[in-house]
Amino acid sequence: MGTGKTATATVHTGATGAGEERLDALLALADRAIDRARPGEAIEAYVAEGVDTDIRAYQGEVESFTAATSAGIGIRVVRDHRMGFAWAGSLDDAVVAETVEAARDNAAFATPDDHVALAEPDAAPPVEVDLWDAGLAEVDATAKVALALALEAQARGAHPRVRQVSSADYGDSATSVVLVSTTGVRAASKRTSAYASVSVLAGDAAATQTGTGFSVGRGFGALDPDRAVADAVERAVRLLGAAKVPSGRATVVFDRRVASTLLAVLSSALSGEAVAKGRSFFAGRIGELVADPVFTLVDDPTDPRAFGAARYDGEGLACRRNVLIERGHLRRFVYDTVSGSRAGTASTGSAVRGGFSGTPGPGCRALTLEPDGRGWDEAQVVANVGEGLFVQSVTGVHSGVNPVSGDFSVGAEGLVIRDGRFAGPVREVTVASTLQRMLQSIVAIGSDREWLPGVAAGQTLAVADMQISGS
Amino acid sequence: MIESPVVERVLARGLQHGGDFAEVFVEDRETSSALLDDGRVEQLSTGRERGAGIRVVAGETTGFAHTADLSEAGLLRAVEAASAVARAGGMAPSGSPVAFGGPDGRGRPDFGDAPITLSKADGLELLRRADDAARSAGDAISQVQVGYGASRRRVLIANSDGLWATDDQPRTRFSVSCVAVGDSGLQTGYETAARTVDARLFEEVSVDDLAGLAARRALGKLTARPAPSGEVPVVLAGGSGGILFHEACGHGLEADHIVKEASVYAGQVGRQVASPLVTLVDDGTVGQEWGTAGVDDEGRPSQRNVLIDHGVLTEYLWDYLRARKEGRMSSGNGRRQSYQHLPMVRMTNTFLLPGDEDADEIVAQTPYGVYVAKLGGGQVNTATGDFVFGTTEAYLIENGKLTEPLRDANLIGNGPEILRRIDAVARDFAMTPGTCGKDGQSVPVGCGQATLRITGVTIGGTAE
C-alpha cells in the first residue's frame, strides 16, 4: 500500500495510558493489590501499561503495521524473610487477586534469608527527569507511515551500491509504570520513546555487505531519519571488498556503538549481586586499581539526555548518580535492596526489572565514560592511534564475552588503520583479550559522546594489545 | 478457548474493510519457575498470560493488533485496529464466508489431558539435589545456580481460509550453572535439559548428571590455556550444540531473508552448497525435542523438511503468508514468541543427519586442531553468511589425542565456505535445546549433529 492510500488511516489503540489520570488509576489498582496484605506480610505491586506502534516499510509499501496495548502486574510478597513472586498479563481485579495469592503461596517455599526484604523509602530525593513527549500522542498514523516509507525510499536511493533495503522501521511507545508497597514506597512515572531504524545491503549478491542506522528519541519530532540512512549506507558501503587480515596483536579502536555494547557487558561484572555470589572478576577488589587511570565510569540515570534516564529504579527508589570506577580505581558496585543488605550497605537505587513479568535485580541504566581530556573525536583517535584496527561492529558478544572469568572473544568487522587513516575494509576476524587486560590497556577515550539506546552512552574507545585472529 | 461463532464474526469483520486474509491467534500461557542460587531457594515465580493477536492482510500490507481482552468486544476492537490500514486502502469488501476445517494439533482440541506438573516441594527437591551434586564434584566449585521452569502454552489459530487449529504445548527445562575458583581466576560451566514435555522430563533426565557435567566443565577450565588464534581444523563433538548449522545456514534458508535477497543462499536451490556429507533437516515433529510442536503458530501441522540433501540445497523454510504469495504450502515454520508478536519464518529442530564414521577415529586422524565438546551461542549475518559461535568446553588436539583444555573463545567463519569444508561425519548423533532470537523474538529450538570435522575455521583465542 502506498503513501497516499493511508491518508485516512486511523488506529484504535484502546486505553491511551497517557494522562496523569491514568497514572492515578494505576496507582489505585496497585493500592487495592497491596491492601490484600495480611498481618506480618509486606507486599509490593508493580503495574505497567503501554501503547505501541510499529511500522515496517518494504519496497514502497507498508509491510506491517502493529498497534497494540499491553498491561500487566507483578507482585512480590515477603513474609518471614521469604519472598515469592507472581505476575499476570492483565489488570482485571480478579486476576490481580489471584496473582497476590500465587505470590503468597510461592513465598512459603523460599529459603528464609535475613537479607530478603522489600525496599523502604530512603533519603535520596527523586530527580525530575522529563521522559514524556506529549506531542507523540498528537502524531497520527499517517505521519508515522509516511516516515517509515520515506526512510525506506531514501535508503534505496542513497547510494549506487545499495541494492536492497532489508528493513525500514518506525516505532514508538508510551508507557506508564507505578510501584507501591506496604513498606511505604510510592512511585509513578511515564515515558515515551520513538525510533527509526534502517538496514541496507550494498554490493552484489556475491559480495554483499550490510549496514544498520537508527535514530531514537523521546518523541516523533526528535528523530533524525537522514542520520539513520546516512549511517546505514556508510557502514555497508565502506565494508565492500572486505577481507580477512593476518593474525597478530594490534591496537583496536572501537566505534561508539561497539564501545556502548562493551560497557553494557562490563556492567554485569559491577552488579552487587554478581559480586556477592562470586560471579564477578571484580569481587573483593574495591579500592584497587583495576583500570588505566584515564578510566572513569559513571552510571547516572538522573542525566535526562541518557536513553536509560529514569526517576525511579525498579523498586521505586530514586535513581542516583553512582561513580563506579574513578581514575582506574574500583569505587562502587550497584545494589538493589537485597544485594545491598547482603553486602552490608544500602541500595544504590539501581534496581532494574524486565517489565511486569520480571523481578528486580541490580543493574546499570546510564553508563558513561569521562572523556580522557584530549577532546578527540573518532577521526582524531584514529589519527593518533596510527596503526591498528577500527571495529564498527561485533558479533557473538553473548557467546564470547564472559563477565565472570573476563574472557573476551568477539567477531569483528571494520577497517584497517594505517598512517592514522582508514585503509582497507576487514571482515571475518575475531578480536580477543580479557576484560581485565583491556581495562588496563585503554589508550584513548573520545569526547564524542553519543546517547545511544541501551544502558550505556557511546564514545570512541581505543584499547591496545588485542589479539586479532584472521588468516 | 473461544467459541467458533465469535471467531467467525471477528474474522468477517477483518475482511469487511477490504482485507483479503484475516487470522486470530489465541494464546493462554502459564509458567512456573524456581531458582536456587548461592545455596538458597531465592525465588519461586508463577505467571499467567492470555490474549489474542489478530492479523489482517490487504495486498502487501499486514495490519496487526493484540489484546488481552478475549471478550467478543475486545476481539472486535483489535480486529478493527488491525484492519485500519486495510480500510484506508478502500478495497471492496470481499465478504467471503468462513468455513473451518483445519487440523487439530495432536488431536487434542479440548485440551483434555492436563500436563503432569511437579509440586513446588518436589521441584525444590530437584534443585537441592542438583546443588549438592554440583558442589560435591570438587572443592573448587564456589557457586552454583540451579533453575527449573515449566510452562504450558495452549493456542488456537483460526483464519479466513477456513483453518481452525489448536495445540497444547507443555515445556520443561532444568539448568545448572557453576563457578569454579582457582589460581587463574574464575571459570564457568553450564548444562541444560529442555524438552517439549511435562514433568515426565525427569523420568529421562538425571539432574545429578546435569549438575556433574556443569561442574566438571567449570573445573576443567581452571587449568585451561588460552585458545589458539588463527585458522585451525576443528572437530565438533556429537551434540555439542549443533548451532553450527543453525547459524551457518539455517537462518539463511528462512524465506523472509530469501525473498529480500538478504541471504547468501538466495537462488541456490539445486546447487551444491555444502560437502556431500551434509544432509540437513528441519523437523518440528521429532519426539519431545525443544523445537517440537503439533502445529506451528499459523496452524500448519509441523513437518519434516529436508533442506540440504548430500550437499545440494533442496528447499527453504516457509511461513504461511510468504508461501501463500508464492502459491505453495507453508513448510510449518511460521512461529512467534507470543500473541503479542507477528509470526515469522523460524527453524524448529534443525539437524545434520549422522554419517558412518567412528567419532573417536575422527579425532585420532586429526594431527592438530581444536576439539569442541560444548558450544555456547552464536550469531549470523545472513546477507554475508559470516557467523560466529562460542565454545564453552574445548580441548587442543595434538597427534590425534585430546590434550590441554582451552579457555572460551568464539569461532568465526562464512557459512557456505564452512559447509564445504566438512570432511568427516560420525554416527554419534545427539540433539541439544536452545533459544533462537530473531528480530526481537525468542522461540525454543532444537539443534543436532554427530561428531564432525571442519578442515579449517578461524578461532579467536588470545594465544599467538
Q: Please, what are the domains in chain A?
A: 4-237 (3.30.2290.10), 248-469 (no CATH)
Print the SS3 string covering B160-179. CCCCEEEEEEEEEEEEEEEE
pLDDT, position B206: 97
Give the angle subtended at the CA of B89 by the CAs of B86 and B92, to the nearest 5°: 90
Which stretches of A208-321 are DSSP H helices? 225-237, 256-268, 272-276
Residues A333-390: pLDDT tens digits? 999 999 999 999 999 999 999 999 999 999 999 999 999 999 999 999 999 999 999 9
Q: Which residue of A has its CA nearest to B66?
A: A68
Residues B130-167: pLDDT tens digits? 999 999 999 999 999 999 999 999 999 999 999 999 99
Are A396 and B231 a contacting pair at CB < 8 A? no
The closest CB to that of A359, out of B37, B43, B88, belongs to B43
Could you give the CA distance from residue B229 to residue A431 in angstroms, rounded to a whole number?
10
pLDDT, position B102: 53
pLDDT of B218 strictly over 80: yes
Coil, strand or helix at B7: helix
Q: Which residues of B touch A468 (CB under 8 A)?
A: 229
B416 touches chain A (CB under 8 A): no
Are B143 and A402 a contacting pair at CB < 8 A? no
Percent of chain B with pLDDT over 90: 80
Q: Which residues of B touch A89 (CB under 8 A)?
A: 47-51, 68
Are A13 and B410 a contacting pair at CB < 8 A? no
Residue A241, class by beta-carbon neighbours within 10 Å (0-12 exposed, 13-18 middle, 19+ buried)?
exposed
Q: Which residue of A has its CA nearest to B69?
A: A90
Are B461 and A469 a contacting pair at CB < 8 A? yes
Q: A40 to each of A77, A111, A242, B45, B152, how far by Cα in Å?
A: 10, 17, 65, 21, 33
Q: Please, what are the domains in chain B?
A: 4-31+47-107 (3.30.160), 120-153+168-223 (3.30.2290.10), 229-460 (no CATH)
For an interface test with B, which of A58, A65, A290 has the most B Cβ atoms less than 10 Å from its Cβ? A65
Q: Which residues of B touch A209 (CB under 8 A)?
A: 383-384
A315 CB-near residues (< 8 Å, 6+ apart): A44, A118, A119, A179, A185, A336, A337, A347, A351, A360
Segments in chain A below pLDDT 70: 1-19
B268 CB-near residues (< 8 Å, 6+ apart): B313
Across the A/B interface, how many CB contacts are shorter than 8 Å? Answer: 299
Q: What does DSSP say about strands B349-352 and B344-345: parallel, antiparallel, or unpaired?
A: unpaired
pLDDT, position B420: 96
Are B379 and A61 a contacting pair at CB < 8 A? no
Could you give the CA distance from residue A48 to residue A40 in angstroms, rounded to a whole number?
27
Q: Which residues of A touch B41 (CB under 8 A)?
A: 109-111
Are B267 and A409 a contacting pair at CB < 8 A? no
Q: What does DSSP say about strands B401-406 and B386-398: parallel, antiparallel, or unpaired?
A: antiparallel
B379 touches chain A (CB under 8 A): yes
Q: Which residues of B touch A86 (CB under 8 A)?
A: 45-47
The torsion angles phi and psi of B74, rounded to 5 degrees, stand at: -65, -45
Residues B37-51: pLDDT tens digits? 999 999 899 999 999
pLDDT, position A304: 94
Quickly list DSSP for B335-385.
E-SSTTS--EE--SEEEEPP-SB-HHHHHHT-SEEEEEEEEEEEEE-TTT-
According to DSSP, the residues that pair with A51 across neighbouring strands are A69, A174
For chain B, the average pLDDT equals 91
What's the complex ipTM?
0.92
For an interface test with A, which of B36, B45, B219, B247 has the most A Cβ atoms less than 10 Å from its Cβ? B45
pLDDT, position B86: 60
Cα dihedral B52/B58/B59/B62 (nearest 10): -30
Q: Which residues of A touch B77 (CB under 8 A)?
A: 12, 14
Instruction: Categorize the per-residue pLDDT at B100 as very low, low, confident or very high, splitting at 50, 70 and 90.
Output: low
Question: What does the pLDDT average to over B239-261?
Answer: 87
Could you give the CA distance from residue A25 to residue A23 in angstroms, rounded to a whole number?
5
The closest CB to that of A205, out of B58, B261, B340, belongs to B261
Q: A449 to each of A171, A214, A326, A453, B157, how far by Cα in Å?
A: 24, 16, 18, 13, 48
The closest CB to that of B63, out of A65, A402, A406, belongs to A65
pLDDT of B402 strictly over 50: yes
Interface of B with A in 295-354 (CB under 8 A): 340, 342
Q: Which residues of B touch A163 (CB under 8 A)?
A: 261
The torsion angles phi and psi of A290, rounded to 5 degrees, stand at: -105, -10
Question: What does the pLDDT average to over B204-218?
Answer: 96
B358: closest CA among B426, B434, B305? B426
Are A396 and B264 a contacting pair at CB < 8 A? no
Cell numbers 545456514: residue:
B249
